[in-house]
């Protein structure tokens, strides 16, 4: 029975061309030890047989969840899909997860107690196992438990793995949900969620399997530059933008450092010109080292 210790959690699975993986994702939600869950799955115009794979699991979903919904329609993009799902959800907390990732069975059970005890926390994250196409664990990533406030997120100094998120619904609704103008919808939402002084909590526990594809690391320059646009469009004053902009430039240099080393050097220099004091930040030197190391060496150690 639902209780104050078991508030309703809304799990959202947006699916796009993940026929090979979506059943494992759904099953991982079914297997949650936390019982009071509603699930909405929206297929965002898949061109493979994702819809058929989801339909094979409808009976199990209807039996397991207190509320369940499955929709499919032409492609509208991730943010629009998530916002459509939010309109249906009734949970106190929401946990979106990509259809190629998986929750570990105690994910929600582990995260809810902290959220109930800490009202100023807008979201909670955890560690991950990186898995390959055959569900083999490639490596495990976690960090010590800590709080992330706006400044850390604006400087892109955080460890927040998207599959592990559990967000307080009222806070997400208060910022208008996900902004469809941006493809980096996660960083935008983390910034706006913490802009009022609230924080995001990282727990050390491993709570999800994150599927690693080569194309997970975006090589799209337009997407990288979107970070600058976001920073300039969340209501910061000029002094604040000047404070955080060098870290955004540095993150772009880092994104480029494996495949586009000449462009990475340009953004590293732009970072230095925007604020020479940033030379005191060890990340400047780590990224300069990353730029100098040949790509084949970096890939060998990934």
Q: Classify domain 9-215 by CATH architecture.
A: Alpha-Beta Complex (3.90)
Distances (CA, A) of 66 to 12, 38, 90, 166, 288: 14, 5, 11, 18, 51
Choose between 109 and 293: higher pLDDT. 109
Distances (CA, A) of 77 to 46, 83, 156, 179, 211: 11, 10, 24, 11, 20
Q: Domains of the chain: which residue ranges? A: 9-215, 218-300
Average pLDDT of the residues of the chain: 93
Q: What is the pLDDT of residue 302?
A: 53
Q: What is the pLDDT of residue 217?
A: 45
Residue 222 pLDDT grade (very low, low, confident, very high; cuts 50, 70, 90): confident
Instruction: Give pTM, 2 decimals.
Output: 0.92
Those residues whose C-beta lies under 8 Å from the C-beta of residue 171, and which sit 6 or more positions away, are 122, 123, 193, 198
> Does residue 300 have a pLDDT over 90?
no
Using CA atoms, how far apart are residues 272 and 242, in angstroms rounded to an integer?
Answer: 13
Average pLDDT over residues 212-216: 63
> Does residue 192 have a pLDDT over 60?
yes
Q: What is the pLDDT of residue 220?
A: 76
Average pLDDT over residues 241-254: 95
Q: What is the pLDDT of residue 298?
A: 52
Those residues whose C-beta lies under 8 Å from the C-beta of residue 240, and which sit 6 or more positions away, are none
Average pLDDT over residues 196-211: 97
Using CA atoms, how far apart are residues 277 and 207, in angstroms rounded to an integer?
Answer: 38
> Does residue 214 have a pLDDT over 70?
no
């Amino acid at each position: 029975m639902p209780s104050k210790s078991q508030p309703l959690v809304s799990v959202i699975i947006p699916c796009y061309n993940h026929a090979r993986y979506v059943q494992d994702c759904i099953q991982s939600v079914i297997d949650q030890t936390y019982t009071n869950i509603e699930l909405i799955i929206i297929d965002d115009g898949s061109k493979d047989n994702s819809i058929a794979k989801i339909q094979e699991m409808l009976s199990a979903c209807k039996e397991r969840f207190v509320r369940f919904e499955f929709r499919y329609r032409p492609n509208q993009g991730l943010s629009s899909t998530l916002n459509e799902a939010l309109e249906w959800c009734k949970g106190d907390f929401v946990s979106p997860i990509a259809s190629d990732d998986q929750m570990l069975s105690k994910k929600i059970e582990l995260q809810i107690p902290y959220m109930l005890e800490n009202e100023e926390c807008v979201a909670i994250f955890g560690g991950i196992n990186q898995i390959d196409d055959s569900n083999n664990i490639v490596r495990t990533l976690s960090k010590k438990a800590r709080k992330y406030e706006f400044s850390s997120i604006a400087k892109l100094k955080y460890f927040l793995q998207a599959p592990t998120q559990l967000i307080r619904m009222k806070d997400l609704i208060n910022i208008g949900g996900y902004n469809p103008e941006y493809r980096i919808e996660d960083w935008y939402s983390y910034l706006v969620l913490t802009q009022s002084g609230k924080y995001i909590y990282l727990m050390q526990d491993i709570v999800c399997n994150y599927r690693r594809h080569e194309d997970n690391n975006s090589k799209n320059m337009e997407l990288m530059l979107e970070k600058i646009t976001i920073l300039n469009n969340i209501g910061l004053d000029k002094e604040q933008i000047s404070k955080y902009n060098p870290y955004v430039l540095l993150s772009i240099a880092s994104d480029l450092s494996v495949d586009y080393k000449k462009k990475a050097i340009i953004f590293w220099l732009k970072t230095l010109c925007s604020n020479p004091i940033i030379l005191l930040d060890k990340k400047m030197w780590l990224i300069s080292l990353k730029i100098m190391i040949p790509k084949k060496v970096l890939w060998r150690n990934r």
